[in-house]
Amino acid sequence: DNVAMILGTEAELIAKDTESYYSILFQGKTTRWVLRYFDNKQRPTILLPLEIDDARQAEITRAGLELAAGGHIIIDRPENILRLTGLIVDSYQYCINDENFRQKRKDKQES
């Protein structure tokens, strides 16, 4: 698996296939997905749980990949994930940080 190659064997990753997409989850937790792969026959894409700001968009462009609607990254072939090593590491770091998930729960309670 390309994501495991990037993050190493010690990363606590679980793959989960759904009807709509294939997910790589941290510790098997469905709210902590490192990436989602959408196997569109014409243009396969991945989605990361990160905001795609200008710096991340530049990284995607520098990797020779395109950004599609909704923050999806068009990868054409699964091995092109290897071009996004920095973003995959950022995504994993986001998922392992408990603070990112406590804040969301707190916001929901205030609503």
DSSP output for 36-94? EEE--SSS-EEE-SS---HHHHHHHHHTT-EE-GGG-EE-SSGGGGGGGHHHHHHHHHH
Q: What is the dihedral of CA 100, 24, 51, 53, to 10 degrees?
A: 130
Give the C-alpha separation, 61 to 44, whole Å.
16
- Radius of gyration for the chain, computed over Cα atoms and rounded to the nearest angstrom: 14
Q: What integer pLDDT is reported at residue 102 of this predicted model?
A: 85
How high is the pLDDT of residue 3?
94
Distance CA 51, CA 89 (A): 14
Phi and psi at residue 68, to the nearest 5°: -105, 180
Q: What's the confidence (pLDDT) of residue 107?
A: 54
pLDDT values of the chain reduced to their tens digit, one per residue, 111 residues: 899 999 998 999 999 999 999 999 999 999 999 999 999 889 999 999 999 999 999 999 999 999 999 999 999 999 999 999 999 999 999 999 999 998 555 555 554
Could you give the angle at which helices 54-62 and 85-96 cross, rounded to 10 degrees?
Answer: 140
For residue 106, the model assigns a pLDDT of 52
